[in-house]
Structure 1
Amino acid sequence: MFGEVFKKLRKSKHITLEAISKDVISTSQLSRWENGLSDISLNKLIILLNRINVSPQEFIAMTIPKNNETNNFLKNLSLLYSEKDSISIYRIFLKNIAAYHHTNNVDYLFHASAAANVLFDIKNKNYLTPQDQQDLKLFLTQNNHWNLSTIQAFGNSGFILPNNTVFQLINSLIEDIVYLENINFEFYLEAWNTIINNSLILVKTDFKKSKLLLARIKELSYTEPYLSITVKVNFLELLIHYREDGNSEPIKRFLESAKVLGIPNLYNDLLFGWALLKLNS
């Protein structure tokens, strides 16, 4: 899908394969990627996007599936969450956890976990049983590598898994980050969001582990042109400093600067991380 979308954008700007691939990638490899026959690294993709004046954020928005069942489920859940409609969310949880117990279909467990995750944030109660939590961990770790489904499922279960499990899974995802960067742009970005967002949760629930994760994250070489990764890593570090010294002024200044960037989704993510510590922005 990514290659096909890029091909349409390139042709709409009347740029040849030879011109856009110069000093970045061979024309044959680029052609194969555009036709869905191979993949390219994230670093090369960002250079190519710069050459057609399209940001990574814009490109991702163009490639989001319009009728993906999981995306539709999460979109509906997000809407109910924004309305704090715990009754409807609880019904969704019951429906999906019952379906999982009846069929053992992991998709139902992933959906039930996502519903339980937002319920925890609303009601401060974990509706996922210890056995279901164990099943979730098993499904998330049974493959040699992470994929989009497991990354999203982990990203939507940070509140309802034990801190030790969250810590272990974040480390597992970090260990896979280079592999993900090399095979798929979307997987890589989703992995980074999950690593940072679940680390933010640990700032509140297990401060010592969050500091260990920050140290490891800062050792990684992440793709600087993707602004949200840089911003979120810096914000994670500020939250940890706040927990240590109680000084909220650097966070408030950072939020004001982030607001100026004009990226509402990123700014809202930062506000959510700040709210996790029961603070006002």
Structure 2
Amino acid sequence: MNNSIGKTFKKLRVSQNITLKAAVHNIEQLSPSRLSHWENDESNIPLNKLDQLLENIHVLPNEFAHLVGQRYVNHLSLQVQDAFIANNIEELHMLALNQLKKYNHIQDNTELFLCALTCNFYYQKTKIDIFPMSLKEKITKVLTSTSLWNYYHITTFGNVTHLLPDELLYKIAVKLINSFPHIKDCGMENHIFAFIALLNANVALIFKNPNLAKKLLHKICQLEIHQFDYYSSLYLSIVKNLLNYQQTKNPKFIKLAQNIVHFCKSINKKDAALEFEDLISQIQQIS
């Protein structure tokens, strides 16, 4: 393995005050001294140990790959997004069930995150919750105990919003908001993903508890949207109009939301347009 990877790993580990001993916890044939040698360019370690090391320091493989200049693509996430956009409920169900089975065999946090993602997308289409309570408790423990919101925690939260109770959802969202200054300092990607995760939480609360949704939206509006993040600006406008419609039942807010959809189509942002159309349809159905 490239020694620059060891240096990057060490920087992340030290920044979180994680000891060498904690970093190699439950990893066979990898001692603190061997890890230290790798971090300091004095030896190599087997590539198959890296995912376990990253899990122990709370960093996802794609986040780490980005930091060391490599590209990581999670094909399951892409499959789920494609099925969601195509309204392929049968495919979403199959992907969710397969991922739950996989987690039963490989019980690590990355697979848990993917379980949440697949079940969350399936729920949005069907309102059927197939995410086991035991896994909800594990996700909740991760999100409520973290003091460092990295890519893993942000995206996990953003993809479990429809599966958590409203009060807990609001509590975790506020925790994320309170960490926003640090998140901004971690770069554009985390800044954008954190804002989108909060909007996802707000959408879920519009369905579950509009009063809490209003409180959360007020806090979100105090945050800064990244200057290159066109999507969150549009998404925020959609959320405002859907919440107003949910509370007043005034059709003018649906019209305003539809105008945003038309704008997305006019600038060739078809995926965003389809996503916003789906939200509008869901709000109209429950009203």
Aligned with residue 157 of structure 1, among 155, 160, 172 = 160
Shift of 1:120: 1.5
1:244, distance to aligned residue in structure 2 (A): 2.1
Normalising by structure 1, we get a TM-score of: 0.68
Which protein has greater RCO, CA pairs closer than 8 Å, 6+ apart? Answer: 1
Seen in structure 2, the aligned counterparts of structure 1 residues 195 and 249 have a Cα distance that, compared at 3 Å, is same
In structure 2, distance between residues paired with 1:86 and 1:268: 16
Cα pair 1:170 1:195 within 8 Å, conserved: yes
CA distance in 2, matches of 1:226, 1:89: 28
Between 103-112 and 204-213, report the one with greater CA deviation: 103-112
Residue 141 of structure 1: CA displacement? 3.5
Give the distance between the partners of 2:95 and 2:174, measured in 1 at CA: 30
Q: Which residue of 2 aligns with 1:275?
A: 281
The residue type paired with residue 215 of structure 2 is L
Find the counterpart in structure 2 of residue 220 from structure 1.
223
Corresponding residue of 2:119: 116
Question: 1:204, 1:276 within 8 Å by CA — same for their partners in 2?
Answer: no
Deviations 1:44-68 (A, max 9, x none): xxxxxxxxxxxxxxxxxxx8x9952
* TM-score, normalised by the number of residues in structure 2: 0.67
Identify the residue that residue 147 of structure 2 maps to in structure 1: 144
77-86 or 236-245: bigger deviation: 77-86
- CA distance in structure 2 between the aligned counterparts of 1:121 and 1:143, rounded to whole angstroms: 26
When residues 271 and 86 of structure 1 are mapped into structure 2, their CA distance, relative to the original with a 3 A threshold, is closer
CA gap of 1:112–1:255, structure 2 versus 1, over 3 A, is same
Q: Is the 8 A contact 1:151 1:194 kept in 2?
A: yes
Count of equivalent residues: 216
1:62-120 superposed Cα distances (whole Å, 9 cap, x missing partner): x8x995243x2211111223344444433333333233334421111111111111221
Moved over 6 A (4+): none
Any residues of structure 2 matched to 1:120-269 within 5 Å, and which?
A: 120-223=123-226, 226-260=229-263, 262=267, 263-269=269-275
SS of 1:214's equivalent in the other structure is helix
After superposition, residues 32-111 of structure 1 pair within 5 angstroms as 68-70=72-74, 72-111=75-114
Distance in 1 (CA, whole Å) between partners of 2:71 and 2:249 is 45
- What amino acid maps onto 2:161 in structure 1? G
Evaluate the alpha carbon distance shift between residue 103 and residue 178 of structure 1 in structure 2; reply closer, same or farther with a 3 A threshold.
Answer: same
Query: Relative to structure 2, which stretch is displaced further, 145-154 or 245-254?
Result: 245-254
Runs of 5+ in structure 1 lacking a partner? 1-62
CA distance in 1, matches of 2:169, 2:245: 22
Q: Give, as a single letter, the amino acid of the residue that structure 2 aligns with 1:277.
A: I
Task: Give how far 1:257 is off.
Answer: 4.5
CA 1:84/1:150 → structure 2, altered by over 3 Å: closer, same or farther?
Answer: same
Verify the 8 A CA contact 2:120 2:162 in the aligned structure 1.
yes
- Which is further off, 254-263 or 162-171? 254-263
Rounded to whole Å, the distance in 2 between the matches of 1:92 and 1:209 is 32
Instruction: Tell me the SS of whatever aligns to 1:228.
Output: helix
Residues 6-42 of structure 1, C-alpha deviations (whole Å, 9 max, x = no match): xxxxxxxxxxxxxxxxxxxxxxxxxxxxxxxxxxxxx
Q: RMSD of the TM alignment (CA)?
A: 2.6
2:16 matched residue in structure 1: none
CA–CA distance in 1 between the matches of 2:140 and 2:263?
39
Preserved contact between residue 163 and residue 205 of structure 1 (Cα < 8 Å): yes
Aligned residue for 1:126, secondary structure, equals: coil
Instruction: Give CA-to-partner distance per residue, 1:216-260, whole Å, 9 cap, x none.
Output: 112334345633333322322222211222112233134325533
**Aligned sequence identity (%):** 15
